[in-house]
Amino acid sequence: MSSYRLLPWSQACAASAQILICLRHGGQKWIDFARSKTKTCRMTEIFMGNFTQQEPILDESIAAAVAVMQHGRLHRYNEAAGEVSETALLEQEFAAQMGARYCLAVASGGYALATALRALGVKPGDRVLTNAFTLAPVPGAIASVGAVPVFVGVTEGLVIDLDDLAAKADQADVLMLSHMRGHIVDINALMDLAQVHNLKVIEDCAHTMGAKWGDTWSGRAGIIGCYSCQTYKHVNSGEGGLLICEDDEIMARAIMLSGSYMLYGKHRAGPPIEAFEAVRLVTPNISGRMDNLRAAILRPQLRQLEAQCAAWNDRYHVVDQGLAQVAGLTRIKRPQQEKFVASSYQFLLLDWSSAAIRSVLARCLARGVELKWFGAPDPVGFTSRYDSWTYAPSSAMPKSDRILHGVIDMRLPLTFSLDDCAIVARIIAEEVAQEAKGA
């Protein structure tokens, strides 16, 4: 149902104060100039959608969660006779989906990353390579095991800079590769480089669950793949993480680390019991298990993953098309082999001044479009940069700094329709163009 309301609009027309007739329509609000000094009528759109609103949890997930609450066995190892826990089933199903031998469900994506480091034997003081363009839980996981992040630069494609990686590769034994915001580096080239330098690769797939490079699932090239099931990711259990791996000993360690006590035999996607012999008494329990409630919520979502990924990409393409011809705005080129899942959208305002970028952000926000900026000197919300993490020493990376300064980031929740995405793109295009003109 549409509703009308009157709003003063000072910004829309410099000629005079305007009274606007607003027609609210779904997630969009259309603003029509009722009166202007020049008598010319112009439409200005304001977007009313909520950039942080996820879809509701599937009915099937809710029913499964209710069943778990009704029987009360929320702890993953609390199984009735003959029962296989939701968590064990989730692991089995995700492993099968990714074509992996083993899977472990844990409390969060960040926990999965720290567990991966520990399972590979990373010790306090070790150096671990990682992306300069990523989010705080990635260097945070490295710091949590007492190791030291070594930041590797970012390209205009928003992926790890392979030249910089080659230059720094000898400083560490492990690379924690973050497929930040779903941008996937040429994984074959990266793995070749890793082989030359004897680097063990952990893939941070928090933003690439369901994505591929060529025919390879994101998370399957490295030794360990880590995923997040946190609300803003591709499956949503509020919090949660998954870790996949092929190696018996590494997975046995990860399971012990996650807090399996001596119940590791209950795992359905874990290595054979013998793999635990060497590790079970020497591996600390650092509890971070997933519970059956979250697993119950996630299992039906995994069955929908492909369709959800396609829906995200439909939205991405509408936005990307809408921004195709905007002077001063650089879209990110995506290689053909990259089968990305675009649950967010990034573009660059390369070499723009901070003041001009701030102005674009403010103009877009005034029209309901929330953009995040990775170039802000102080981290805001979820954004931060390698030089924000002052616990990790870093030296300036001018090439990367230029790119990070221009990175603009926007969520694309599935609660947006394709029309919503077209409106969002129009607003960004108009405001960037206006700012570029100095208007």
Say which amino acid occupies 6. Answer: L
Helix (H) or strand (E) holding 426: helix 418-437
Question: Looking at 87-95, 203-211, 269-277, 296-304, which segment touches ligand PLP (CB under 6 A)?
Answer: 203-211
Nearest to 409 by CA among 347, 331, 316, 337: 347
Task: Out of 228, 313, 346, 383, name the contact with ligand PLP by CB under 6 A.
Answer: 228
224 binds ligand PLP (CB under 6 A): no
Residues from 168 through 187 that contact ligand PLP (CB under 6 A): 178, 180
Least Å distance, CB 20 to ligand PLP, is 38
* 202/275 with CB nearer ligand PLP: 202
* 196/380 with CB nearer ligand PLP: 380
Least Å distance, CB 288 to ligand PLP, is 10
Q: Distances in Å between the alpha carbon of 255 and those of 13, 137, 234, 245, 275?
A: 62, 21, 24, 11, 11
Least Å distance, CB 178 to ligand PLP, is 5
C-beta separation of 432 from 333 below 8 A: no
Task: Out of 92, 230, 258, 344, name the contact with ligand PLP by CB under 6 A.
Answer: 230
Task: Out of 203, 204, 420, 431, name the contact with ligand PLP by CB under 6 A.
Answer: 204
* 27/241 with CB nearer ligand PLP: 241
Q: Which pairs count as long-range contacts for 138-143, CB under 8 Å and 24+ apart, including other chains?
A: 138/113, 138/176, 138/178, 138/204, 139/386, 139/389, 139/392, 140/110, 140/389, 141/110, 141/113, 141/114, 141/117, 141/176, 142/117, 142/176, 142/392, 143/389, 143/391, 143/392
* 230/313 with CB nearer ligand PLP: 230
* 13/229 with CB nearer ligand PLP: 229
Nearest to 257 by CA among 177, 180, 144, 149: 144
* 78/144 with CB nearer ligand PLP: 144
C-beta separation of 288 from 295 below 8 A: no
Residues from 101 through 140 that contact ligand PLP (CB under 6 A): 108-110, 134-135, 137-138
Least Å distance, CB 186 to ligand PLP, is 19
Per DSSP, which regions of 229-306 are E strands? 241-245
Task: Out of 65, 106, 190, 206, name the contact with ligand PLP by CB under 6 A.
Answer: 206
* 382/391 with CB nearer ligand PLP: 382
Burial class (CB in 10 A: 0-12, 13-18, 19+), 85: buried
Residues in contact with ligand PLP by the rule CB under 6 A: 108-110, 134-135, 137-138, 178, 180, 204, 206-207, 228, 230, 241
